[in-house]
């Protein structure tokens, strides 16, 4: 039977609050998924994956848990559940908000998409209107919010079953149609209307270095996820290298540990990023791809299944 690495982001409790509208699964759903996995598969550890890298074969009929972005729910909601089941997992935080007190642009846009506006359509219409003013005329019509444009990209990122057509359209613009600097400028402008002082958001949303040390003391593994949660394919080699190495070096310094694993933001890997990771002696790295892990696997290209797609892959 195939093995699986699960990717999680936000885990929500039953209480209401600023971040209750973020996309993510509930604690109850998390329990249900773990119970299913523990019936069908055997849990493996970070050490098991390191061993798999050495022998060139991933453990059969196994599963592993990973949590991206270093959000506060990982210490408040995820850790108690893992301890209840006697499980360990890997966590991939982003150092920028803790070092610079700046919110990564990817997290700002997540807030704007799912929290800042009453409906996703409201966010998307404003984003498209601003973006259309900033892009070259030849692609302006492709960025305008319209049913025609949304339908045209309805199959974009089709392996992510849980995206709406509006979300696919937005991601097409973000990933391929707009300059990353322009994208950042637009999101910064929109986010500033909600959080002019980013420190308030950071303190509420992200784990601290002390939180990460607690995870480590409980047997969890800390890996790197770039410095600012950037999309590596949009950077030149110099900036991509700095993003990877800065994240690893800072986490090693602040947590007094060796960082031997990595998760590509948005699951987007480049051949150059593999070279940098290999040079830093990172042993394994995770993509997304929504696939099971074959027994024969590439250690820097391990696929993960997004927990939001759980029911499509585990029946």
Q: Do 161 and 13 share a structural domain?
A: no
Q: Do 40 and 126 share a structural domain?
A: no
Domains in the chain, number: 2
Distance CA 266, CA 176 (A): 14
Q: Do 205 and 89 share a structural domain?
A: yes
Q: Do 58 and 23 share a structural domain?
A: yes
Domain boundary among 194, 212, 239: 194
Q: Do 94 and 52 share a structural domain?
A: yes
Binning pLDDT at 50, 70 and 90, where does residue 1 land? Answer: low
Task: Say what the pLDDT of residue 209 is.
Answer: 97
Q: Do 131 and 95 share a structural domain?
A: no
10-41: pLDDT as tens digits: 998 776 677 888 888 999 999 999 999 999 99
Distance CA 138, CA 282 (A): 42
Could you tell me the CA-to-CA distances from 282 to 164, 261, 275, 286 in Å, in that order? 35, 6, 10, 11
Task: Say what the pLDDT of residue 286 is.
Answer: 97
Distance CA 75, CA 88 (A): 13
Distance CA 293, CA 298 (A): 10
Question: How many percent of the chain have pLDDT more than 90?
Answer: 74
Binning pLDDT at 50, 70 and 90, where does residue 123 land? Answer: very high
Distance CA 266, CA 136 (A): 26
Q: Do 215 and 93 share a structural domain?
A: yes
Domain boundary among 165, 194, 223: 194
SS (H, E, C) the chain: CCEEEEEECCEECCCCCCCCCCCCEEHHHHHHHHHHHHHHCEECCHHHHHHHHHHCCCCCCEEEEEEEECECHHHHHHHHHHHHHCCCCEEEECCHHHHHCCCCHHHHHHHHHHHHCCCHHHHHHHHHHHHHHHCCHHHHHHHCCCHHHHHHCCCCCCCCCCCCHHHHHHHHHHHHHCCHHHHHHHHHHHHHCCCCCHHHHHHHHECCHHHHHHHHHCCCEECECCCCCCCHHHCCHHHHHHHHHHHHHHHHHHHCCCCCEEECHHHCCCHHHHHHHHHCCCCEEEEEECCCECCCCCCCCEEEEEHHHHHHHCC
Q: Indicate the pTM of the whole model.
A: 0.88
Answer yes or no: are the C-beta atoms of 255 and 209 closer than 8 Å: yes
Answer yes or no: are the C-beta atoms of 186 and 127 closer than 8 Å: yes
Distance CA 172, CA 215 (A): 35
Q: Do 159 and 38 share a structural domain?
A: no
According to DSSP, the residues that pair with 302 across neighbouring strands are 286
Average pLDDT over residues 56-66: 95
Q: 283 lies in which domain range?
A: 4-103+200-313
Task: Say what the pLDDT of residue 157 is.
Answer: 79
* Residue 246's CATH number: 3.20.20.370
Task: Say what the pLDDT of residue 180 is.
Answer: 86
More confident of the two residues 251 and 135? 251
């Amino acid at each position: 039977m195939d093995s699986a690495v699960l990717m999680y982001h936000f885990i929500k409790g039953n209480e209401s609050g600023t971040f209750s509208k973020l996309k993510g699964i509930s604690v109850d759903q998390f329990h249900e998924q773990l119970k299913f996995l523990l019936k069908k598969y055997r849990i493996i550890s970070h050490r098991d994956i390191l061993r798999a890298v050495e022998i060139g074969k991933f453990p059969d009929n196994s599963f592993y848990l990973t949590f991206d972005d270093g959000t506060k729910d990982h210490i408040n909601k995820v850790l108690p559940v893992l301890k209840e089941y006697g499980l360990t997992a890997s966590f991939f935080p982003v150092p920028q908000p803790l070092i610079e007190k700046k919110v990564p642009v990817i997290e700002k846009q997540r807030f704007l998409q799912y929290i800042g506006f009453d409906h996703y359509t409201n966010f998307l219409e404003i984003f498209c209107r601003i973006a259309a003013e900033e892009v070259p005329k030849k692609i302006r019509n492709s960025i305008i919010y319209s049913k025609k444009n949304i339908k045209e990209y309805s199959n974009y990122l089709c392996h992510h079953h849980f995206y709406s057509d509006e979300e696919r359209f937005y991601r097409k613009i973000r990933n391929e149609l707009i300059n990353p600097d322009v994208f950042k400028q637009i999101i910064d402008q929109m986010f500033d209307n909600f959080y002019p002082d980013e420190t308030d958001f950071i303190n509420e949303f992200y784990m601290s270095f002390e939180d990460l040390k607690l995870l480590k003391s409980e047997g969890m593994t800390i890996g790197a996820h770039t410095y600012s949660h950037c999309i590596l394919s949009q950077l030149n080699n110099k900036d991509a290298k700095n993003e990877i190495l800065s994240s690893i070096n800072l986490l090693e310094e602040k947590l007094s540990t060796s960082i031997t694993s990595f998760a590509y933001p948005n699951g987007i890997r480049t051949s150059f990023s593999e070279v940098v990771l290999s040079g830093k002696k990172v042993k394994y790295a995770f993509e997304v791809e929504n696939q099971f892990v074959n027994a024969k696997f590439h250690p820097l290209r391990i696929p993960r299944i997004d927990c939001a797609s759980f029911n499509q892959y585990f029946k």
